[in-house]
Amino acid sequence: MANPFAGEVALVVNGEAFACRLTLGSLQGLDRGEGLIALIARFEEGRFGAGDVLAVLLAGLRGAGWQGSAGDLGAAEIGGGLAEALRVAGLLLARAFSLPEGADERASL
């Protein structure tokens, strides 16, 4: 089960459930090319493409310990289909860069 307070989002790939999260290492992989800020901007503006969604999901799965490749993920069956893949990608980014609802940032100091 995914823990939203840890930035996790549940995703089912080929029938197996994962608690995806964006770690520093997986975020580093997203920072290549145009960069992480440009990727986030595309999601915020609704201008993202399939490659963006795949990259975010792959990074989240890497944070969950998944060892598959981008090609493996592209050929995989995602539980909930395309709509769920889009939802999970957006939530991964949102949870990686914000405090959980109701959290007080001073509590972590």
pLDDT tens string 24-58: 988 888 887 778 899 999 999 999 999 999 999 99
Q: How far, in Å, are 33, 74, 109 from residue 20 at the CA level?
A: 23, 16, 25
Residue 89 domain flag? yes
> What does the alpha-carbon distance between residue 70 and residue 75 come to, in Å, rounded to a whole number?
9
For residues 75 and 67, give the distance between their C-alpha atoms in angstroms, rounded to a whole number.
14
Q: Output the six-digit token pair for 13.
A: 């790939």
Asked if residue 93 belongs to a domain, the reply is yes
Residue 95 has pLDDT above 60, yes or no: yes
Could you tell me if residue 15 is inside a domain? Answer: no
Domains of the chain: total: 1
User: Alpha carbon 53 to chain centroid distance?
Assistant: 8
Helix axes 81-96, 50-63, angle to 10 degrees: 60
Whether residue 2 lies inside any domain: the answer is no
